[in-house]
């Protein structure tokens, strides 16, 4: 009896292994070519010809920075390049979803080597700063010249008309 039970369990396990489908390829999503102006998202192991939504997200605020649609190729791979400003950010997340689904199929979060500098907005301030500096320097030189002038004193020949400080005793 025991050998029949062992044979039944063994044959059942063998049938499950033979009948079971091979496991699908492992899904991979990666970020590369990160610059302060763009990021490239790539993925493998997707279904052949699958339509996908890719989004770049700021993990600190969960704000979507850029979104696009891609179609996986015959080998189940895709590559998507997005122009996006990463100024002031330290991390970025890429999420891959099927259209209309809230839960991502796969996602990856990557830290930047250093934070991108903040964007410079407004006009160039070089000319006004040079003007203020030059006018301050000119005003300083004029003040020095004005206070350094001793003036010309007209000298009178002879005796001064002012009264002496001390009176003479007689």
Q: What is the pLDDT of residues 21-71, one digit of tens each?
A: 445 558 899 998 888 889 999 999 998 999 999 999 999 899 999 999 999
* Separation between Cα atoms, residue 165 and residue 153, nearest integer Å: 23
Judge whether residue 90 has pLDDT over 90. Answer: no
Judge whether residue 107 has pLDDT over 60. Answer: yes
C-beta pairs of 126-133 under 8 Å, 24+ apart in sequence: none
Confidence (pLDDT) at 41: 94
Greater model confidence, 79 or 13: 79
Confidence (pLDDT) at 122: 77
Confidence (pLDDT) at 155: 59
User: Sorting pLDDT into bands at 50, 70 and 90, what band is 154?
Assistant: low
Q: Tell whether the torsion through CA atoms of 81, 84, 87 and 89 is positive or negative.
A: negative
Contact (CB, 8 A) for 35 and 85: no
* Separation between Cα atoms, residue 69 and residue 80, nearest integer Å: 9
Confidence (pLDDT) at 72: 93
Judge whether residue 146 has pLDDT over 80. Answer: yes
Confidence (pLDDT) at 124: 85
β-sheet bridge partners, residue 82: 39
* Separation between Cα atoms, residue 154 and residue 55, nearest integer Å: 87
Contact (CB, 8 A) for 46 and 78: yes
Confidence (pLDDT) at 94: 95
Mean pLDDT, range 82-88, rounded to an integer = 89
* Separation between Cα atoms, residue 44 and residue 25, nearest integer Å: 8
pTM of the model: 0.56
Q: Tokens for 48?
A: 């052949």
């Amino acid at each position: 009896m025991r050998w029949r039970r062992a044979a039944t369990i063994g044959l059942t396990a063998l049938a499950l292994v033979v009948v079971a489908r091979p496991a699908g390829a492992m899904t991979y999503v990666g970020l590369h070519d990160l610059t302060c102006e763009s990021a490239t998202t790539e993925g493998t192991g997707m279904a052949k010809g699958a339509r996908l939504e890719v989004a770049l997200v700021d993990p600190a605020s969960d704000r979507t920075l850029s979104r696009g649609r891609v179609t996986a190729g015959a080998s189940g791979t895709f590559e998507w390049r997005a122009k996006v400003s990463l100024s002031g950010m330290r991390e970025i997340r890429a999420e891959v979803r099927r259209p209309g689904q809230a839960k991502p199929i796969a996602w990856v979060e990557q830290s930047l080597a250093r934070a991108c500098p903040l964007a410079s907005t407004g006009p160039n301030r070089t000319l006004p700063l040079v003007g203020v500096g030059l006018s301050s320097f000119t005003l300083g030189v004029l003040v020095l010249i004005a206070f350094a002038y001793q003036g010309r004193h007209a000298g009178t020949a002879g005796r001064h008309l002012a009264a002496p400080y001390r009176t003479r005793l007689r």
